[in-house]
Amino acid sequence: MASTLLTSKHVAYIQSLDTKRDRLDYHLTSHLRLSGVYWGLTSLHLLNHPTALPRSETIDFVKSCYHPSSGGLGASPGHDPHLLYTLSGIQILATIDALDEIDGDKVVEYVSKLQNPDGSFSGDEWGEVDSRFVYCALSTLSLLGRLGDAPGVSAEGAVGFVLRCLNADGGFGMAPAAESHAGQIFTCVGALKIAGVFEKSLSEDQVNLLGDWLCERQLPNGGLNGRPEKLEDVCYSWWVLSSMAMIGKLQWIDREKLVEFILSCQDEENGGIADRKGDVADVFHTVFGVAGLSLLGYEGLKEVDPVYCMPKDVTDRIVWNHRKILTT
Amino acid sequence: MNPTPLYSYASDPAWADLLPLPQDDGQYPLAQIAYTEEYTEAMSYLRAIMAKNEHSPRVLQVTAHIIEMNPAHYTIWVYRAKTLFALSATGEVQLGRELEFLNDLALRHQKNYQIWNHRQTVVEAIAAAAAPAEQEQLVREEKEFMNRMFEQDGKNYHVWSYRQWLVRRFEAWDGELSFVSALLERDVRNNSAWNHRFFVVFGGGGMDARQQGEGEVVEEVVEREIAFIEDAVFIAPQNASAWNYLRGVLKKVHRPLSSVESMCLGYAPLDNPDKITSSHALDLLADIYAEKREEHGKAVKALELLAAKFDPIRANYWNYRVGLVKASV
Ligand SMILES: [Zn+2]
| Closest to A169 (Cα-Cα) out of B211, B202, B93 | B202
Torsion of CA A311, A313, A319, A320, to 10 degrees: 120
Query: Is the CB of B315 less than 8 angstroms away from the CB of A254?
Result: yes
Q: How far apart are CA A70 and CA A52, in angstroms?
A: 32
What residue numbers bound the domain in which A150 lies? 7-327
Answer yes or no: are the C-beta atoms of A288 and A238 closer than 8 Å: yes
Q: Is residue A217 part of a domain?
A: yes
| Closest to A82 (Cα-Cα) out of A37, A140, A145, A152 | A140
Answer yes or no: are the C-beta atoms of A143 and A172 closer than 8 Å: no
Active site residues of B: 111
What pLDDT digit, counting tens, does each position of B278-329 carry?
999 999 999 999 999 999 999 999 999 999 999 999 999 999 999 999 998 6
Answer yes or no: are the C-beta atoms of B297 and B291 closer than 8 Å: no
- What's the confidence (pLDDT) of residue B215? 59
Q: Is residue A1 part of a domain?
A: no
Query: Is the CB of B24 less than 8 angstroms away from the CB of A257?
Result: no
| Distance from Cα B38 to the centre of ligand 1, integer Å | 29
E-state strands within chain A? 304-305, 310-311
Q: How far apart are CA A144 and CA A124, in angstroms?
A: 19
Q: What is the mean pLDDT of residues B140-159?
A: 96
- What's the confidence (pLDDT) of residue B204? 53
Q: How far apart are CA B47 and CA B63, in angstroms?
A: 11
| Distance from Cα B312 to the centre of ligand 1, integer Å | 25
Q: Is residue A47 part of a domain?
A: yes
- What's the confidence (pLDDT) of residue A29? 80
DSSP codes joined into one string, A24-90? HHHHHTGGGHHHHHHHHHHHHHHTT-TTSS-HHHHHHHHHHTB-TTTS-B-SSTTSPP-HHHHHHHH
User: What pTM was estimated for this model as a whole?
Assistant: 0.93
What pLDDT digit, counting tens, does each position of B15-69 carry?
888 888 876 544 333 333 444 788 889 999 999 999 999 999 999 999 999 999 8
Percent of chain B with pLDDT over 90: 80
Q: What is the mean pLDDT of residues A292-299?
A: 97
Is the confidence at residue B188, as pLDDT, over 90?
A: yes
Answer yes or no: are the C-beta atoms of A304 and A311 closer than 8 Å: yes
What H or E segment, with its residue span, contains residue B324?
helix B315-327
Q: How far apart are CA A123 and CA A111, in angstroms?
A: 9
- What's the confidence (pLDDT) of residue B279? 97
What pLDDT digit, counting tens, does each position of B151-187 carry?
999 999 999 999 999 999 999 999 999 999 999 999 9
Is the confidence at residue A27, as pLDDT, over 60?
A: yes
Query: Is the CB of B204 less than 8 angstroms away from the CB of A177?
Result: yes
Cβ burial B189-222 (10 Å sphere, 16+ → b, else e) = bbbbbbbbbbbbbbbeeebbeebeeeeebeeebb
What pLDDT digit, counting tens, does each position of A28-44 carry?
788 889 999 999 999 99
Answer yes or no: are the C-beta atoms of A181 and A189 closer than 8 Å: no
Is the confidence at residue A298, as pLDDT, over 60?
A: yes
Query: Is the CB of B248 less than 8 angstroms away from the CB of A27?
Result: no
The phi and psi torsions of A151 (rounded to 5 degrees) equal -55, 130
Mean pLDDT of chain A: 94
With beta carbons under 8 A apart, name residues in chain A contacting B196.
179
- What's the confidence (pLDDT) of residue A324? 67
Answer yes or no: are the C-beta atoms of A152 and A117 closer than 8 Å: no
The CATH number of the domain holding residue A119 is 1.50.10.20
Length of chain B: 329
Where is pLDDT greater, at B38 or A139? A139
C-alpha distances out from residue A297 to A237, A241, B216, B225, B241, Å: 13, 12, 48, 44, 32
| Distance from Cα A266 to the centre of ligand 1, integer Å | 14
Answer yes or no: are the C-beta atoms of B118 and B147 closer than 8 Å: no
| Distance from Cα B107 to the centre of ligand 1, integer Å | 21
Q: How far apart are CA A63 and CA A59, in angstroms?
A: 6
Looking at the DSSP bridge assignments, the partners of residue A266 are A273
With beta carbons under 8 A apart, name residues in chain A contacting B30.
21-22
Cα atoms in the 13 Å half-sphere on the side-chain side of B329: 11
- What's the confidence (pLDDT) of residue B201? 93
Q: Is residue A82 part of a domain?
A: yes
| Closest to B39 (Cα-Cα) out of A23, A194, A5 | A23
- What's the confidence (pLDDT) of residue B30? 37
Is the confidence at residue A73, as pLDDT, over 80?
A: yes
Q: Is residue A46 part of a domain?
A: yes
Computed from CA positions of residues B312, B313, B319, B321, in that sequence, does the dihedral angle turn out positive or negative?
Answer: negative
- What's the confidence (pLDDT) of residue A326? 54
CA distance A47 to chain B (A): 28
With beta carbons under 8 A apart, name residues in chain B contacting A173.
195
Interface test with B, best of A126, A129, A219 (most B CBs within 10 A): A126
Q: Is residue A270 part of a domain?
A: yes
Where is pLDDT greater, at B16 or A306? A306
Q: Is residue A19 part of a domain?
A: yes
Is the confidence at residue A280, as pLDDT, over 80?
A: yes
Is the confidence at residue A328, as pLDDT, over 60?
A: no
Answer yes or no: are the C-beta atoms of B18 and B45 closer than 8 Å: yes
Q: Is residue A175 part of a domain?
A: yes
With beta carbons under 8 A apart, name residues in chain B contacting A64.
26
Answer yes or no: are the C-beta atoms of A263 and A255 closer than 8 Å: no
Total domain count, chain A: 1
Percent of chain A with pLDDT over 70: 97
Helix spans in B90-175 (H) = 95-108, 114-128, 132-152, 157-169
- What's the confidence (pLDDT) of residue A25? 72
Answer yes or no: are the C-beta atoms of B310 and B282 closer than 8 Å: yes
What pLDDT digit, counting tens, does each position of A229-248 carry?
999 999 998 999 999 999 99
Answer yes or no: are the C-beta atoms of A234 and A292 closer than 8 Å: yes
